[in-house]
Amino acid sequence: MAKRARGHVRPGQRRPIDRRPAPAVPPAAAGGTTASVAPRPAGLTEAELARAAELEAQLLAEERAAENARTRTQPRAKASGRSAPSSLELRAEVEYAYVARDVKDIVRIAALLFAVLFGLWIVIDVAKIVPIG
């Protein structure tokens, strides 16, 4: 086992987060009184609530548009006699394209090798151009 060097991290691991507590600053050192520091509000402001409602309405509209697009394509798929392809079918189609290409390459190389062997058989045994033995 190799010696571990200080400060190095093994692959796949992260360094631990340095969580030192922030030093407490007394109000007098901060340059003011406690009244000058306003506490954070516990709830959301009206502007934040309005923005959240706007974002939610936008998301709902996008979901409705996606649902409408999906329902429009379903009758076409049923009319053609086949159902809409699932993500598994799409991935399988991509993988089978690779497999089909690989099989064609294997067949092409095998045919080339058999052609070379047949040519050598003709030259060596039939025509006796290259004597062996």
Q: How is 15-70 classified by DSSP, letter by letter?
A: PPP--PPPPPPPTTTTTS-GGGSPPPPSS--HHHHHHHHHHHHHHHHHHHHHHHHH
Count structural domains, the chain. 2
Tell whether 132 and 97 lie within a shared domain. Answer: yes
Secondary structure class of 102 (helix, strand, coil): helix
Task: End-to-end CA distance of the chain: give it in Å, rounded.
Answer: 58
Tell whether 96 and 70 lie within a shared domain. Answer: no
Beta-carbon contacts of residue 38 (< 8 Å; ≥ 6 apart): none
Tell whether 115 and 92 lie within a shared domain. Answer: yes
pTM comes to 0.34
Q: Looking at the domain assignment, is residue 52 inside a domain?
A: yes
Tell whether 122 and 104 lie within a shared domain. Answer: yes
The full 3-state SS of 107-128, as one line of letters, equals: HHHHHHHHHHHHHHHHHHHHCC
Tell whether 133 and 100 lie within a shared domain. Answer: yes
Q: Looking at the domain assignment, is residue 133 inside a domain?
A: yes
**Separation in Å, CA 93 to CA 1, 99, 129:** 46, 10, 51
Tell whether 78 and 90 lie within a shared domain. Answer: no
Residue 72 domain boundaries = 44-84
Tell whether 97 and 126 lie within a shared domain. Answer: yes
pLDDT tens for the chain, 133 residues: list them. Answer: 566 566 666 667 777 677 777 766 655 555 555 556 666 667 888 899 999 999 999 999 999 998 888 888 776 655 666 666 778 888 888 888 889 999 999 999 999 999 999 999 999 999 988 888 7
pLDDT at site 72: 83
Q: Looking at the domain assignment, is residue 131 inside a domain?
A: yes
pLDDT at site 24: 66
Cβ neighbourhood burial of 60 (10 Å; 0-12, 13-18, 19+): exposed
Q: Looking at the domain assignment, is residue 121 inside a domain?
A: yes
Tell whether 67 and 95 lie within a shared domain. Answer: no
